[in-house]
Structure 1
Amino acid sequence: MKVFAAVCRCGSITKAAAALHITQPAVSLCIKELEQYYGVQLFDRIAHKLYLTDEGAKLLGYAHKIISLFGEAESDLKSWCALESLRIGSSITIGTRLMPGYVKKFRAAYPNVRVFVTIDNSSQIEKKILANELDFAMIEGTVHSENILCEKLRKDLLVPVCGANSAWANRTELRPEDLTEIPFLLRERGSGTRELFDSTLLTQGITVTPEWESISTGAIISAVEAGIGFSVLPFGLVEQSLQQKRLIQIPIRGIRFERYFYLIRHKDKHLSKAVVSFLLQNQFGVQAEKS
């Protein structure tokens, strides 16, 4: 199952063999034996490329569960504190503001547990949860899969901001109809911040096409400070710039951008001792309910 999952992940028998540190014939034999045993074809082999069949996709779902359960058996039956590791996912906002403190607090209590953190936009983190590449994650976006359990952690606020010397700095308020005339600098699609911005404006019948899109909140803040455009960003990430008068917060009449941070995990994912300890250490609940 590990070999099969590696071939699916790498998209190539050669690459899977290199990743697993075994020979290419051994990988090919493993796939052949799986196909013979189940009486199905797992891959279409077209133009020297591998394409997962419907039967292969079904087996891959089971493979992820089997690999996960085997790993849990290994860790649970041994000294977890010395051998376990944590794979945590985080959206960019949470990864910037909160994750360093969470990991530092956990490592102080459990220095022998290795903590691996992946920071990406909420959409990509959700995909990694579904592929069992993460034990759990914290995001601010909406969960889209019924296979993911989520639990509210805390409320977060996004604020409209412009540069202190920009053309909008003297405004005390913006009207919703003004928004289509303003150059917006926004996070990329798939991020929780962008999803909240688009969905909130959509309820007002407003669609904004940004002049800038970036995966880097820092790049957007720098550009807004330079007076290039307007943005809506998490308060915690622009608080220092607001205090130093490099950014100005301009409210939008009748519109408020609020959301929650969520703790998410796959519904079939077992909570290991390391996961439970991390959540308890940071005073999170350990019983996530389906969103």
Structure 2
Amino acid sequence: MTLRHMKIFLAICENGNSVTRAAEALFMTQPAVSLALKELESYYGMPMFERLSRQLFITEAGERMREYAAHIMELFDEMEKGLRDWDATGVLRVGASITIGSQFLPSYLKAFHVLRPGVDIRVCINSSEVLEEQLQSNKLDFALIEGTVHTPNLICEAYLEDPLTAICSIDGPFAPGERISIERFRAQRFLLREEGSGTRDEFDGAAEAAGFSVLPAWESTSTTALVNAVIQGLGVAVLPRRMLLGPLERGLIASFEVEGMDMNRKFLIAYHKNKFLTRSARELIELCKNYELDYPAPKYNGLY
């Protein structure tokens, strides 16, 4: 007994209890329709139609069967529509590290809302370390992460370059655009993002590759706090350039280069290797990848 049997049975009922007309309506052969009816009656051990003078007359059991079958098919159609339309509504759980969440994600989601206004997007902005844990525990569908991912079960796709920039105060030890040695740089007082953030991981990795390590004077989750400390001449910081455009343009801070340090990094789209990505999730991922090609360049607000 299958949905096919119910569909054929209902077609017979809806076409004047005629096997011939039901076969025509379903684009089936008459013997195939007759066989399906016979299988249905055999399954329940009772006739659904009486056969008199080459005509079919629905029985009391057949009437009951028709009511149930119509209800079941209606529910089935509702289920089909609901599941197939789920991507047009539903919930999408997206994570973003702090730089991406504050400077990029709002523009991405504004554009995506135009494409999929019915999708309810839940956002979590946190450190890369926390986002990796949430991807592992299936609390997020995917995340936009800065720098390096350390969890082997995650698939990562690089999609945008975002260099780190070293900064000091305007009246600080280095002139704007000055290129300094690693020896001079490592002797500075460092104001850094907290451990576990993508920015910190990338800087620590670049410092290690250059042959030194850093014990920061300040650690903070707030880029604004670090920049304010730099403005006051309390040390140097290394932060994402897009987060610094405002204070750099206003002349509040100066950026400089460090010889022999590679501080280029990429933004990553990360998701669990066993995660099923819905159509909406895949569409948002593609929008993020192609955003700067398909949409006007966003105006990064920086911090001021």
The verdict on a shared fold, with TM-score over 0.5 as the criterion, is yes
Separation in structure 1 between the aligned mates of residue 236 and residue 80 of structure 2, nearest angstrom = 52
Cα separation, 2, equivalents of 1:99 and 1:151:
17
In the alignment, which residue of structure 1 is the partner of 2:163? 157
SS at match of 2:226: helix
| Cα pair distance change 1:145/1:74, threshold 3 Å | farther
2:204 to 184, 187, 198: 198
Do the aligned residues in 2 keep the contact of 1:91 with 1:125 (CA within 8 Å)?
yes
Paired with 2:222 and 2:140, the residues of 1 have a C-alpha distance of 22
- The structural deviation recorded for 1:103 is 0.7
Name the structure 1 match of 2:42: none
Q: CA deviation at 1:81?
A: 4.6
2:139 aligns with 133
Residue 127 of structure 2 corresponds to which residue in structure 1? Answer: 121
Q: Which runs of 5+ in 2 are unaligned?
A: 1-78, 292-304
- 2:24 aligned residue: none
Q: 2:90 aligns with which of 70, 84, 89?
A: 84
Deviation at 1:284?
A: 5.0
Superposition deviation, residue 188 in structure 1: 0.5
Indicate whether 1:175 and 2:181 are aligned. yes
Q: What count of residue pairs does the alignment treat as equivalent?
A: 213
Q: Distance in 2 between matches of 1:144 and 1:135?
A: 18
Q: Which runs of 4+ in 1 moved over 2 A?
A: 73-76, 165-174, 279-285
**Aligned Cα RMSD in Å?**
2.2
Distance in 2, Cα, partners of 1:75 & 1:223: 56
- Whether the aligned pair in 2 keeps the contact of 1:76 and 1:272 (CA below 8 Å) is no
Cα distance change, pair 116–171 in 1 and its aligned pair in 2 (3 A): closer
Q: Please give the secondary structure, in 2, of the residue aligned with 1:77.
A: helix
**Which runs of structure 2 are paired with 1:138-287 in the superposition (5 Å)?**
138-169=144-175, 172-284=178-290
1:91/1:139 contact within 8 Å kept: yes
**2:15 corresponds to which residue?**
none
Q: Residues 172 and 250 of structure 1 are in contact (CA less than 8 Å); yes or no, is this contact kept in structure 2?
A: yes
2: CA distance, partners of 1:283 / 1:155: 11
Change (3 A) 1:196 1:139: same
Kindly provide the amino acid, as one letter, of the partner of residue 273 in structure 1. Answer: R
Q: Percent identity?
A: 36
Rg larger for: 2
Q: Secondary structure at the match of 2:238?
A: strand
Can you give the 5+ residue segments of structure 1 that lack an aligned partner in the other structure?
1-72, 286-291
Q: Structure 1 length as normaliser, TM-score?
A: 0.68
Deviations 1:217-239 (A, max 9, x none): 11111111221110111111112
SS at match of 1:151: strand
Question: Please, what TM-score do these two structures have when normalized by structure 2?
Answer: 0.65
Q: 1:37 aligns to what?
A: none
